[in-house]
Amino acid sequence: MTELRSPLQAQVVQWLVAAGELVRSGQVVVILEAMKMEHEIRSPGNGRVRECLFAPGETVQERDVLLVLEAASVDEAPEAPGAPTPAFPRCGREEERPDLRKVLERQAFTLDAARPQAVARRHALGLRTARENIADLCDAGSFGEYGALAVAAQRSRRSEDDLVRNTPADGMVTGIGRINGDLFPPERSQAAVLAYDATVLAGTQGFRNHQKTDRLLGVALRNKLPVVLFAEGGGGRPGDVDLPIVAGLHVPTFASFARLNGQVPVIGIAAGRCFAGNAALLGCCDVIIATSDSNIGMGGPAMVEGGGLGVFKPEEIGPSPVQHANGVIDVLVENEAEAVAAARRYLAFFQGTVADCQAPDPEVLRNVVPENRLRVYDSLAAVHGIADTGSVLELRAGFGLGIHTALARIEGRPVGILASNPLHLGGAIDADAADKAARFMQLCNAHGLAMVSLVDTPGFMVGPAMEQQAQVRHVSRMFVAAAHLRVPFFVVVLRKGYGLGAMAMAAGGFHAPEFTVSWPSGEFGGMGLEGAVRLGYRKELEAVPEGAEREALFQQLVASQYEAGQAMNMAATLEFDAVIDPAQTRPWLARGLAAAITAGSSGVPLIDTW
């Protein structure tokens, strides 16, 4: 005899067998109901049913005997209904359950293939769809979409079929995927991705896509995921009428997006037209990568005209040459494919160290600075000579030309590099260059990148014209930003290190960095040598007749100042740490990077939008 006992307190719904019948092991024999849920109770073995002890509708307690089996051969018994099914049944299209089929059919409307005309129009403009960009950005098969089934909040004025077919995902594709998973482990390659779909209601910001954005931004902030935003389209969408909203100024999206600042890397990509709300989010990003055909502005043509400011074509508002030169665009590229590649490359600097790296020829650095101390040169040659081959990514190259800012790697480790640019104002620091350098320090500081500063500056730019640009406030940003650095900072003086400008390039002073070294071509002074002589030796110069004799004395005094301020004299008085062979710059930096640590942060570091 074999007894079948109830596994729970329940009510008998239906017997699937009767006394005298043969049953097989695992066959469903009775249905019980508890808490409105039905439970299939299966036979514990083979045999013949002797009796069923409870009638339908009766209540059984846990461990009550439900059924008694007598031993019997069931080899000849037919397969009974309710026999167990395989644990993992074969899943084919012809076998899909109705509920699954309905979901798959609905999901198909979110894909580009469901909207061939919209895709064709997009391609005719030379642009890609939002999903094509995401597929290129994320590792194959890694993107999981959030909120794909959303449609515009316009059910009161449009049919459900119309909304499903023409407003997929409410014009905003959001989800999480892997980026650079071939270089970094899963825990360092996950990122949140958001893409406005310009083929859906012109990329405007609808009620549902704001909800989707807020949802994903919360996930990103909580899990410290980098965020990539494809921004294209306009601002708020007045056609969303399903909700009792007048102006929609209470949406949290912009505050939620801004809250990411300093917490995680935030990358913005713009192609085509990016105006109003899209541009506001783009402007909150750490870095803006834009295509040459992009237009970025806080208001599009309709808003400009509505404000009585004139009638303009979209192409006339915020074109890329303007936005690159004024510092809005950090990285200017030709097309979306290059933009995505630049985004992957940029993000990799914040994902960690790579093993595969190649060193440039170190001896090239010996000839970067001309022997003629008055001759200008391209300091980017020094940047590329120090960094791993092919690793340099320059930021804001069109703006603040007096200082280069770039991300790079040294022996595989990511760093941020500042470099004076003698080709612009002799390397003097003006307001734009100072703003650029200060924000770059904040960027590296927030995300833990050590910094290298290559110095060749006669100091801050001076003069009445400069002071009209609020020079005092702008250049002082470098000192304030440097005072809050928690990352290692290293200084290599290539040639000129004069005055407050040199101190600003050295994080506030030559003893502030982990080390300050100079190439043999280094020359130093509290201010420019010529100005120092004219100021400090005025009486001696005025005592000599004006003309050739005074000029000769002046040049003699300048030469004396230059000799006193040479690198070896400075090192001898311990005003900095060493004079090095330029070819030894990488080994010096590699040792410094290996020895230095990044301090903990006492709060959320801020990265200015500017």
Specify whether 229 is located in the same domain as 251.
yes
Rounded Cα distance, 504 and 460, in Å: 9
Rounded Cα distance, 524 and 20, in Å: 107
Q: CA separation (Å) from 8 to 25, 43, 62, 66, 82?
A: 20, 16, 4, 11, 20
Specify whether 570 is located in the same domain as 558.
no
Is 97 within the bounds of a domain?
Answer: no
DSSP code per residue over 100-131: HHHHHHHHHTTSGGG-HHHHHHHHHTT---HH
The domain that holds 32 is classified in CATH as 2.40.50.100
- pLDDT, tens digit, 9 for 90 and up, residues 147-181: 999 888 888 889 988 899 889 999 999 999 999 99
pLDDT for 88 equals 41
Is 288 within the bounds of a domain?
Answer: yes
Is 499 within the bounds of a domain?
Answer: yes
- pLDDT, tens digit, 9 for 90 and up, residues 531-582: 778 878 888 888 888 888 888 888 888 888 888 889 999 999 999 999 999 9
Is 85 within the bounds of a domain?
Answer: no
Is 357 within the bounds of a domain?
Answer: no
- pLDDT, tens digit, 9 for 90 and up, residues 376-393: 999 999 999 999 999 999
- pLDDT, tens digit, 9 for 90 and up, residues 262-283: 999 999 999 999 999 999 999 9
Query: Taking residues 302-327, what's their average pLDDT?
Result: 91
Domain boundary among 70, 103, 121: 70
pLDDT for 86 equals 42
Specify whether 185 is located in the same domain as 214.
yes
Exposed, middle or buried: residue 525 (CB in 10 Å: 0-12, 13-18, 19+)?
buried
Specify whether 138 is located in the same domain as 52.
no
Domain boundary among 45, 70, 95: 70
Enclosing domain of residue 341: 112-348
Is 82 within the bounds of a domain?
Answer: no
Is 587 within the bounds of a domain?
Answer: yes
Query: Taking residues 526-531, what's their average pLDDT?
Result: 76
- pLDDT, tens digit, 9 for 90 and up, residues 68-119: 999 888 775 555 555 444 444 454 555 778 888 888 888 988 899 999 999 9
Specify whether 482 is located in the same domain as 370.
yes
Specify whether 262 is located in the same domain as 283.
yes
Specify whether 11 is located in the same domain as 146.
no
- pLDDT, tens digit, 9 for 90 and up, residues 330-362: 999 999 999 999 999 999 999 999 999 999 999
pLDDT tier for residue 239 given thresholds of 50, 70 and 90: confident
Specify whether 254 is located in the same domain as 326.
yes
Decide if pLDDT at 296 tops 50: yes
Is 102 within the bounds of a domain?
Answer: no
Specify whether 183 is located in the same domain as 310.
yes
Specify whether 538 is located in the same domain as 511.
no
DSSP code per residue over 31-97: EEEETTEEEEEE-SSSEEEEEE-S-TT-EE-TT-EEEEEE----TTSPPPTTPPPPSS----GGG--
Angle value at C-alpha 259, between 254 and 264, nearest 5 degrees: 120
* Domain count across the chain: 4
Return the residue matching tokens 């003699």: 556
Q: Output the pTM of the full model.
A: 0.87
pLDDT for 38 equals 95
pLDDT for 146 equals 95
Lay out the sheet containing 59-60: strands in order across: 37-42, 28-34, 10-15, 59-60
Query: Taking residues 127-136, what's their average pLDDT?
Result: 96
- Phi first, then psi: what are they for 540, rounded to 5°? -60, -40
Rounded Cα distance, 579 and 253, in Å: 52
Mean pLDDT, the chain, integer: 91
Helix (H, G, I), strand (E, B) or coil at 303: helix
The domain that holds 152 is classified in CATH as 3.90.226.10
Specify whether 342 is located in the same domain as 366.
no
Specify whether 299 is located in the same domain as 398.
no
